[in-house]
Structures are given as structure tokens and as C-alpha cells.
Structure 1
Amino acid sequence: MPKINGNEIRPGNILEHDGHLWSAVKVDHVKPGKGGAFAQVEMRNLRNGSKLNERFRSADKVERVRLDQKDQQFLYETDGKLVFMDLESYEQIEIDSELLGERRAFLQDGMMVKIEYYDDEALNATVPQKVTCKIVETEPVVKGQTAANSFKPAVLDNGVRVMVPPFVGQDEDIVVNTETMEYAERA
């Protein structure tokens, strides 16, 4: 695995540190008035989700890990496990539903999900950035309410609450950004 200097760490990098795999969440480069510069790195453990703040000087060497990414199709959920299928080998794998976190609600049957592997261990799963959902409950359209920044609450078919523009009504399909959990556009 390639070693990188402490000042080359960027958010999103996967690092091996103290025998564990960490994802760099936030990186601040600090140049104090006295002493050498360093990178203050907030990291999240990929296996148990714990967080760690660590300082790396530019002379420090850190192992950077590359994860293999595979697109896999979601089949079903059973006992808190999500079952996916590799479309090339038709092999099925189970991963914890907690791996997706709050994005779990956007998972739909047959959806392609990007799963990141370290050796044969699934460490991360990413749903598509934009997902189409149906609005099951929202307030009716009020005539004359055309203020540019007015939004109203809506409940989607998966139970997630989002804010939508006033012109969007019940039983309409909308596109939701899964990263920000916000309305993107009409479907």
C-alpha cells in the first residue's frame, strides 16, 4: 500500500492507522506561530463508526488504502441484513443495514448500490445520489403563495420528511438528493 505524508491527507481518504481502517472526514492544516505545521485530521473508524482526532506532521508517513468498488443490486432485507447480488458472478452477500445509516430509507428493490470492499470485507455502501420518490402527504396548494423561498413539509412513500416547493402536490413523483436529504426536482 502506498505511504503518503501527513500533509497530503484529504477528506475521503481511507487510512490505516494503529491497526484500524479510518476514513478522513475533516482535515485542517494548521501553521502555528511556533513549531512546525501539521494537519489536524478528524477520522471515522470504518468498522465500528468511532471517531478520532489525530495530528499528523508533514514528516509523518501514513498508509493510504484503496478500496475496491463494486456495483451490486439490492434484493431484499432480512433480520437487519441487506442482501445484494453481484451481477457478474451472481454471488449474493449480506451486509448490516446500519452501513447505510439514514440513507437506508431510499433503498428500493432492484436498485444498484456501490459497495466498497477491503479484501473481502464490505466496509461502505452508497445509494445513488438522486432517487425518485412519491409524495404521500403534503399540504394543498395555496393560490397566490409564490414567494421564491417558501417551502412546505411533505412525507414521502418511504417515510422520510422533506421540504418541497408549494407547487408540488400529493401523489406526485419527485427526485430527492440522498446526500443532502432535500428536494431536487420534479420527476
Structure 2
Amino acid sequence: MVKVIASQVRKGNVLELESQLYVVLTAENFHPGKGTPTTQIDMRRISDGVKTTQRYKTTEQVERAFIEDHDFNYLYEDGDGFHFMNMESYEQIQVPEDIIGDQKVWLKEGMTVRISRFNEAPISVELPARVVFEVVETEPAMKGQTATSSYKPAILDNGARTMVPPHISAGTRIVLQTEDGSYVERAKD
């Protein structure tokens, strides 16, 4: 176990509290005008999936668990969960759906992800920050509509919905943030 200060905790880190392992879902630092800066950490207990929120002074120390991080390629999903393969050792692992969570909509076959494991059991999956998808359906651009913060709904080739600028049409490949599914730019390929 390694002690780190609360303000250094990031999404995906694994903490040990009262001999239980927790994966960090979000970590926010608050700096009020008066008073002590604090860090609020939303976590999920790995053993049973219970979510909890803790608040620490930013200089308080918390224990980070020693975990192994390896890159895996996404293969497929079935009734048992999501299957990945380590491209160096060809080891295949299965990750339950509750560990993937809302990120499953952004998984693409062949995508390289970082999987964190504790005692050989997968505990968290980190997707690339940005992914490319194709717009399959969106409203046509209106003449005279400016690009200033007006967005329109679009449906992507994975079935997900997002908001895109007016100049994006069906068939256009776009780059999205995996964290919140927001439009970044038109793909450069």
C-alpha cells in the first residue's frame, strides 16, 4: 500500500479503506474562498458494488492499493460479460458488466483499453480519452444557421446519441470524449 494525499487521487485509482478496496469513480477538489480546501471522492466498493462518497482535507493521506495495469484489446461481449485479450501474452480475461458500467457504449472491437487488476481480478477499465464514431442519422443543416453554440442531436453507428454542431451530416466520422460522450471535432481520417 502507498499513501498519497487526497488531492492526488484520480478516477480509476483504487483505495483501501478499513481493509476494503474501493475504485474511484470521481474525485473533485474544492477550494472555498474561506476555509480548508477539500477533496470529495465518489467510490464503489469492489467486493459488492456499494457506492460511497468521502470528503477529505486536500492534504490528508489515503492508502492507494497496489494494482497491476495492463493494456488489453476488446474482443466481444456475451452473457458472461466483456472479453479482452492481452496482446503480449495472449491471455484472455472476462470483465463483468458492473465494472465497465456506462462506458460500455464507447467500446469498439479491437480497441485498446487499460485494465487494472488486484490479485488477478479485474477491478477497473480505463478507455482511451477519445474515440471515433460515424454519424448515421442527424437533422439536415438549416440555411443561415451559425455554428455559435447551437448543437443538434445525432445518432452514432453504435446506437448512442450525442449533440453535434450544425455542419455535421450523416456519414461524417467524429471524435468524442469517452468521459461524457461530448463532441470534440470531425475525425481527420
Deviates further, 170-179 or 38-47: 38-47
Write out aligned runs for 1:126-165 (5 A): 126-165=126-165
Secondary structure, counterpart of 2:175 in structure 1:
strand
Q: Is the 8 A contact 1:76 1:82 kept in 2?
A: yes
1:9 corresponds to which of 6, 9, 12: 6
Unmatched tracts of structure 1, length 5 or more: none
State the Cα RMSD in Å: 2.7
The code of the aligned residue for 1:181 comes to G
Q: Give the Cα separation in 2 of the matches to 1:128 and 1:168.
A: 23
Secondary structure, counterpart of 1:149 in structure 2:
coil
The code of the aligned residue for 2:6 comes to I
Alignment correspondent of 1:50: 50
1:15 is displaced (CA, Å) by 1.9
Q: Give the Cα separation in 2 of the matches to 1:3 and 1:146.
A: 51
Deviates further, 101-110 or 12-21: 12-21
Secondary structure, counterpart of 2:98 in structure 1:
helix
Alignment correspondent of 2:108: 108
Q: Give the Cα separation in 2 of the matches to 1:29 and 1:176.
A: 30
Identity, % of aligned positions: 36
Deviates further, 51-60 or 63-72: 51-60
Q: Give the Cα separation in 2 of the matches to 1:67 and 1:132.
A: 29
Unmatched tracts of structure 2, length 5 or more: none
Write out aligned runs for 1:1-187 (5 A): 1-4=1-4, 8-10=5-7, 11-12=9-10, 13-24=13-24, 25-26=27-28, 41-47=40-46, 48-54=48-54, 62-187=62-187
Deviates further, 121-130 or 18-27: 18-27
Deviations 1:61-89 (Å, cap 9, x if unpaired)? 64322322110011111104111111111
Aligned length: 180
